[in-house]
Amino acid sequence: MKSRKSTIHDVAEQLGITASTVSRALSGNDRISQKTKEKVLKVAAELNYQPNRLASNLRTGRGNSIGVVVPRINRNFFSNVISGIESVTNPAGYNIMICQTNEEHENEVRSLQTLINNQVDGIIMSVSANTMNTSHIQKALDESIHIVQFDRVSNELDISKVVNDNLMGGYEVTRHLIEQGYKRIYHFAGPMHLGVYHDRYLGYMKAMNEAGMKVSSDMVFADILTRMQGLETTQTLYKSGMLPDAIFAASDFSALGVLTALKEFGISFPKEIGVAGFANEPFTELTDPGLTTVEQFSERMGQEAAYLLIAEIEGLKEDIEHQTINIKPELIIRQSTYEN
């Protein structure tokens, strides 16, 4: 005799909660705690609970695959997001297909077309630095493919998103620099057309304005994301005699370039100049001095994006329309800005 398949009610009974709570946990509802979500996923995996996708598959002609599009796989942030996605999709019975754009819009367009051709159920994506036009994303939506954006998102599209509170992160790191006594604070920003970097800039401006510190145009440098860009920009500032008291870089990689350049010139941290980044890349606690930065909780971001996408695919999210989850970042203070 064929054994009965586990249901959402079996998961609920084992945990002593309601079936609706299980459904909300699987759908990524922000009213359900992360601890409960993890328990639900664990029990679902133990019971081999598989959501019923038969009706959806017959209707759409798709199976149990999810596409993931990231700018760079070799960045710790994005690899942790992918890990978070897999921790949710695997127990739910979905396989993932990963595409890397290398920060090129054309690669992103091709990646989405490849995923459409492979008839994925949904896509989780973060746009490239060069993406200005989102017509390729709209095309996927027109193909009835569910899409959830994370981190770098386009607000032109009415779809679910998982983002950091980048304005808050930029504000807190700049306020910390001000509290340490730094007066002339420069900002090495990212591409300003991307909300993630524009919000970090707005956080910087908010803290500076609150402190009554004037920000002139020569204090903000756009499109400084890589180690080499941070190094070369800092070298230029030093040679022109225009070094500031501190630099807040929107990227840990550009902040690493700043540290490298200033060390070449024999400048001490944090006494002569303070340097802070954003993202808490693994190398930030290994640099000398350790780099002050902002933790983005990338693995959780991936989990939340997967919860939202599966909820849309499974039709579990009837009471929530295109939700935006905003994750609170955490300032991590190290020796590049703070002297014990």
Q: Is 28 left (phi over 0), alpha (psi -120 to 50) or beta?
A: left
Determine the Cα–Cα distance for residues 84 and 221; give it in Å rounded to an integer. 33
| Residue 42 belongs to a domain | yes
- Could you give the CA distance from residue 331 to residue 133 in angstroms, rounded to a whole number? 33
Does pLDDT of 56 surpass 60? no
CATH number, residue 11: 1.10.260.40
The least confident of 33-37, 171-175, 290-294 is: 33-37
Phi, psi of 80 (to 5 degrees): -70, -35
Residue 155, CA distances (Å) to 90, 132, 233, 325, 335 in order = 29, 12, 31, 14, 37
Q: Sorting pLDDT into bands at 50, 70 and 90, what band is 320?
A: very low
pLDDT of residue 7: 79
In a domain, residue 338? The reply is no
Q: Are residues 279 and 188 both part of a single domain?
A: yes
Cα separation of 142 and 258, whole Å? Answer: 44
Residue among 7, 124, 87, 56 nearest 313 (CA): 56
Among 34, 50, 66, where does a domain finish? 50
Lowest mean pLDDT among 87-91, 110-114, 214-218, 313-317: 313-317
Is 32 contained in some domain?
yes
- The verdict on 197 and 277 lying in the same domain is yes
CA distance 271 to 289: 12
Predicted confidence band at 165 (pLDDT cuts at 50, 70, 90)?
very high
pLDDT class for 162, splitting at 50, 70, 90? very high
75 pLDDT more than 80: yes
Domain for residue 330, yes or no?
no
| Nearest Cα to Cα of residue 279 among 334, 331, 221 | 331
User: For residue range 239-252, what is the model confidence (pLDDT) as tens digits?
Assistant: 999 999 999 999 99
Are residues 270 and 227 part of one domain? yes
Dmax over CA atoms of the chain, in Å, equals: 83
The reported pLDDT for the residue numbered 28 is 66
**Do residues 141 and 219 both lie within one domain?**
no
102 within domain boundaries: yes
- Shared domain for 280 and 317, answered yes or no, is no
- Report whether 150 contacts 126 (CB < 8 A): yes
Run of H or E residues at 110: helix 105-117
Per the structure, how many domains does the chain have? 3
103 and 125 assigned to the same domain: yes
Residues 138 and 203 in one domain: no
Give yes or no: residues 258 and 273 share one domain: yes
- DSSP helix/strand/coil, 282: helix
Q: Which of 61-70, 139-148, 212-221 has the lowest mean pLDDT?
A: 61-70
Residue 24, domain extent? 1-50
pLDDT of 285-310, one tens digit each? 999 999 999 999 999 999 999 999 99
CB 99 within 8 A of CB 115: yes
Looking at the structure, tell me whether residues 257 and 310 fall in a common domain. Answer: no
pTM of the model: 0.77
- Are 150 and 170 contained in the same domain? no
CA 264 from centre of chain: 32
